[in-house]
Amino acid sequence: MNMGSSGKNANGKSRLTRSFAYAFAGIRAGLKQERNLQIHLGISMAVILLGYFLHISAVEWLFICLSIGGMLAAELMNSAIERVVDLVTTEYHPLAKQAKDMAAGAVLLLAITSVVIGLVIFGPRLLLFFL
pLDDT tens per residue across span 96-115? 999 999 999 999 999 999 99
Topology at the third CATH level for domain 36-130: Helix Hairpins (1.10.287)
| Pairwise CA distance, residues 21 & 111, whole Å | 28
Ramachandran area for residue 2 (φ above 0: left; ψ -120 to 50: alpha; else beta)? beta
Question: Does 60 carry a binding-site annotation?
Answer: no
* Contact predicate 8/14, CB 8 Å: yes
Q: Which residues are catalytic?
A: 75
Spatial CB neighbours of 82, under 8 Å, sequence gap ≥ 6: 100, 103
Question: Does 22 carry a binding-site annotation?
Answer: yes
Whether the predicted pLDDT of 3 surpasses 50? no
Domain limits, the chain = 36-130
The neighbouring-strand residues paired with 8 are 14
Angle at 30 between CA 76 and CA 81, to 5 degrees: 40
Residue 93, SS3 per DSSP: coil
pLDDT in tens, 54-89: 999 999 999 999 999 999 999 999 999 999 999 998
pLDDT in tens, 19-50: 999 999 999 999 999 999 999 999 999 999 99
pLDDT of residue 10: 62
